[in-house]
Amino acid sequence: MYIALLACFVLSLWASAKVKTTYAKYDKVPNRLRMTGFETAKRLLSMGGVTDISVGRVSGTLSDHYHPTKRIVNLSESTYGSTSVAAVAVAAHEIGHVMQNKNGYLFYRIRTAIVPAVNFGSKLAMPLVLIGLLLEGYLAYSNGTGFQIAMFGVLLYGLSFLFTLVTLPVELNASRRAGEMLRQAGIVTDDEIPAVRKVLSAAAMTYLASMLTSLVSFLRLLFMVLSLSGRRRD
């Protein structure tokens, strides 16, 4: 399990470095229309018939995100005013999330629905596991209350894995939509599409790494609780 965690850690580092280097490479390549990330987002929103979403700017690099409750797409400083292929790819990806929301994409709806439970579970999971294991030490020959509390904490922790699992198809679908929208809008040429895909594929690797890390962490916690509980009962 520790080897698996180490492998996930290395994969995460590699994915993060891959995103940065790929973005940096194509951030130096202007798109043929010289459209900025902001202009790209506005055009794609208009083409999609979306009129109630604003486009804002936030500090940082690759900090772009769509905030559905605030009805805004926030583009990072590196995307907002840039005319690079990388910038329009990232901007289009965020509009892909807008279109998922508008069209009721299943995995996007599931991810949105479980966010409150994930936030709740992430705060209580580890305290419940620790409390359960402590109780299990004193109630080893009783009704297993401590074990039940610990397992409930493990299940709450598992919601984080579920979130990352659902996030992966959401991000992949947003990237696919981004490529299609950019081509339909004529913002990039067929020759530029491979560069767009490389930028978005690199970003997808970070979500895959996150999902695998979350899975291994969940399994590690589950096995730890089962193992410790079993030893104490013996």
234 pLDDT more than 60: no
- Under 8 Å CB-to-CB from 159, ≥6 apart: which residues? 114, 117, 118, 121, 122, 125
Tokens 């530029």 found at: 192
Band of residue 44 on the pLDDT scale cut at 50, 70, 90: very high
Statement: residue 165 has pLDDT above 90: yes
Name the token pair of 194: 């491979």
What is the structure's pLDDT at 145? 80
**Confidence (pLDDT) at 3:** 86
The pLDDT value recorded for residue 102 is 95
* Tens digits of residue pLDDT in 80-96: 999 999 999 999 999 99
pTM for the structure as a whole: 0.88
Q: How far is CA 184 from CA 12, 121, 166, in A?
A: 33, 41, 28
**Total domain count for the chain?**
1
Domain residues for the domain of 128 are 2-233
pLDDT at 233: 54
Which of 92, 85, 87, 89 has the alpha carbon at shortest distance from 76?
87
Amino acid 131: pLDDT: 87
State the pLDDT confidence band at 173, using cuts at 50, 70 and 90.
Answer: very high
Dist. CA 51–CA 118, nearest whole Å? 31
Nearest C-alpha neighbor of 128 from the set 152, 145, 161: 152
> Can you tell me the mean pLDDT for 219-231?
81
Q: Which among 39, 94, 136, 171 is annotated as catalytic?
A: 94
- Annotated active-site residue 94? The verdict is yes
Q: What is the mean pLDDT of the chain?
A: 90
Q: Which of 145, 157, 124 is nearest to 229 (CA)?
A: 145
